[in-house]
Amino acid sequence: MEAPANVADPHAASESNRPVPLLDVQRGNRPLLDEIQQAISQVCDSGRFLHGPEVTQLEQSVAEYTGAAHAIGCASGSDALLLALMARGIGRGDEVICPSFTFFATASAVWRLGAKPVFVDIDPVTFNIDASQVEAALTPSTRAIIPVHLFGQCADMEAILALAGTHGLFVLEDAAQAIGAGYGAAKAGAIGDVGAFSFYPTKNLGGFGDGGMVTTNDDRMAQVLRIMAAHGMQPRYFHPVVGINSRLDSIQAAVLNVKFARLNGWTTDRRTNAGRYDELLADAKLDQNLVLPQTARGCWHVWNQYTIRVPEGRRDALRRHLADAQIGSEVYYPQPLHQQDCFRHLGYREGDLPETERAAAEVLSLPIFPELTIEEQQTVVKRIATFYAGKQYAAA
């Protein structure tokens, strides 16, 4: 990795006035547009907009990439979670353990089936579900655990799988942010019973709209997942179960096939950017003010997000300071799920999940997309440094 320039280098001063977006999907898409348009044209010429060979190709690629025996395309990452729970028969009266510090779809999939999400606190270092607290949340109604591989890093799957094995629980990996993430010798999506992926445009492998994938090593589960995603229909016009309409269309698959060939390179770029932030922030001694993200032992982080902690109640002031310089940042997530209005009747109170609540008040994600330049990262770090050196810090 190229050595970072000094963040105080006057030769980089001209870069400090340039906007730095949080995300720039067009910067990644633009070099591929001719190839993507050709792939889309082939779908249009064939007329096979659903169940086309492009979908089969992507399913095979994702299965091979993750090490799963099966990959089943669907309409979104949210549907991937829903389909997995449906295929397992999760429903009314069941409880599913999941983190509160995650995107809404993790818990909404549980709720839509009439089951109850049971929220567990997170590990403050990885932001993932704290496996040591899962056992205390078990009840006779517990049927499943959904570990979320948040920000691109796998949860503590060894501990979760051991607990699930003891109690006969279904393990659904929410890998929406973690395609390619590693846990020991295994990859996200092939560790638990089922994995759920999202191809939302801002993901590490993002399409031109919604799309998702479900992975599993269980032959019977794969068959049920395909049936569930096609209205519960098998054979045609006969419905042994009530499913949903959730298909990955051929155009989205065509786009994703073009991009899939670049995924490893993009992952390398994200990892390089994360390492450079670590160095730049440490060189500027900002690691004394901030808490930098860490990779757990044995994990391969794919950095969907580079998320720092800004303690002492200064997160929002720092974010405003960055925004004033047209530097993008985001808070994933400002309100934990157990405190959302739609789940208040579950009875959680402030302080029930202290690490989750503290993370929601402190986290700030910085730009880390693959095409981010060294100069842009220097600009981000310089602007953070001016915050801690200036009046904004004292007044925050």
Q: What integer is the mean pLDDT of 338-349? A: 97
From 298, 359, 383, 321, select the one nearest 127 (Cα to Cα): 359
Band (pLDDT 50/70/90 cuts) for residue 4 is: very low
pLDDT higher than 90, residue 386: yes
Q: Is residue 1 part of a domain?
A: no
Q: Give the torsion through C-alpha atoms of 171, 208, 210, 233, to 10 deg.
A: -90
Q: Which residue has the tokens 């249009």?
A: 44
What totals of helices (H) and strands (E) does the chain contain, helices first?
13, 12
Same domain, 134 and 210: yes
Q: Pick from 240, 260, 280: which residue ends a domain? A: 260
Q: Is residue 4 part of a domain?
A: no
Same domain, 210 and 107: yes
Q: Is residue 3 part of a domain?
A: no
Band (pLDDT 50/70/90 cuts) for residue 40 is: very high
Q: For residue 297, with 0-12 CB atoms within 10 Å meaning exposed, 13-18 middle and 19 or more buried, which class applies?
A: exposed
Q: How far apart are CA 237 and CA 220, in angstroms?
A: 21
Q: Is residue 26 part of a domain?
A: no
Q: What is the pLDDT of residue 17?
A: 72
- Give the model confidence (pLDDT) of 96-116 as tens digits: 999 999 999 999 999 999 999
Nearest-10 crossing angle of helices 53-66, 250-260? 40
Q: What is the pLDDT of residue 16?
A: 57
Overall number of domains in the chain: 2
Tell me whether the omega of the peptide bond preceding residue 237 falls within 30 degrees of 0, making it cis: no
Same domain, 209 and 236: yes
Q: What integer is the mean pLDDT of 130-142? A: 97
Question: What value does the mean pLDDT of the chain take?
Answer: 94
Q: Which amino acid is at 63?
A: A
* 368 neighbors 273 (Cβ within 8 angstroms): yes
Same domain, 250 and 271: no
Q: Indicate the helix (H) or strand (E) that contains 324.
A: helix 315-324
Same domain, 14 and 49: no
pLDDT higher than 60, residue 356: yes
Phi then psi dihedrals of residue 166, to 5 deg: -65, -35
Domain CATH for 330 = 3.90.1150.10
Q: Indicate the helix (H) or strand (E) that contains 37.
A: helix 33-46
* 52 neighbors 46 (Cβ within 8 angstroms): yes
Same domain, 248 and 286: no
Q: What is the pLDDT of residue 91?
A: 97
Q: Pick from 260, 276, 293: which residue ends a domain? A: 260
Q: Is residue 255 part of a domain?
A: yes
How far, CA to CA in Å, does 110 sit from each of 119, 190, 266, 369? Answer: 12, 21, 32, 31
Q: Which amino acid is at 15?
A: E
The DSSP annotation for 261-312 comes to TTHHHHHHHHHHHHHHHHHHHHHTTGGGTSB---PPTTEE---S-EEEE-TT
Same domain, 322 and 361: yes
Q: How far apart are CA 220 and CA 102, in angstroms?
A: 29
Q: Pick from 260, 282, 301: which residue ends a domain? A: 260
Where in the sequence is the domain holding 364, given as residue range(s)?
Answer: 10-19+263-395
Q: What is the pLDDT of residue 13?
A: 41
Q: How far apart are CA 217 and CA 70, in angstroms?
A: 6
Same domain, 206 and 84: yes
Q: How far apart are CA 322 and CA 302, in angstroms?
A: 25
Which residue did the predictor score with more confidence, 250 or 3?
Answer: 250
Q: Is residue 383 part of a domain?
A: yes
Q: How far apart are CA 191 and CA 198, in angstroms?
A: 17
- Give the model confidence (pLDDT) of 8-38 as tens digits: 343 344 445 789 999 999 999 999 999 999 9
Q: What is the pLDDT of residue 391?
A: 64
pTM of the predicted structure, to 2 decimals: 0.93
Q: Is residue 24 part of a domain?
A: no
Q: Is residue 25 part of a domain?
A: no
Same domain, 107 and 52: yes
Q: What is the pLDDT of residue 394?
A: 62
Phi then psi dihedrals of residue 248, to 5 deg: -85, 115
Lookup: tokens for 41: 């044209």
Same domain, 215 and 343: no
Domain CATH for 102 = 3.40.640.10
The Cβ of residue 279 has, within 10 Å, a number of other Cβ atoms equal to 14
28-66 as b/e: b if 16+ CB within 10 A: bbeeeeeebeebbeebeeeeeeeebebbeebbebbbebb
Same domain, 190 and 306: no
Same domain, 323 and 355: yes
Name residue 198's beta-bridge partners: 212
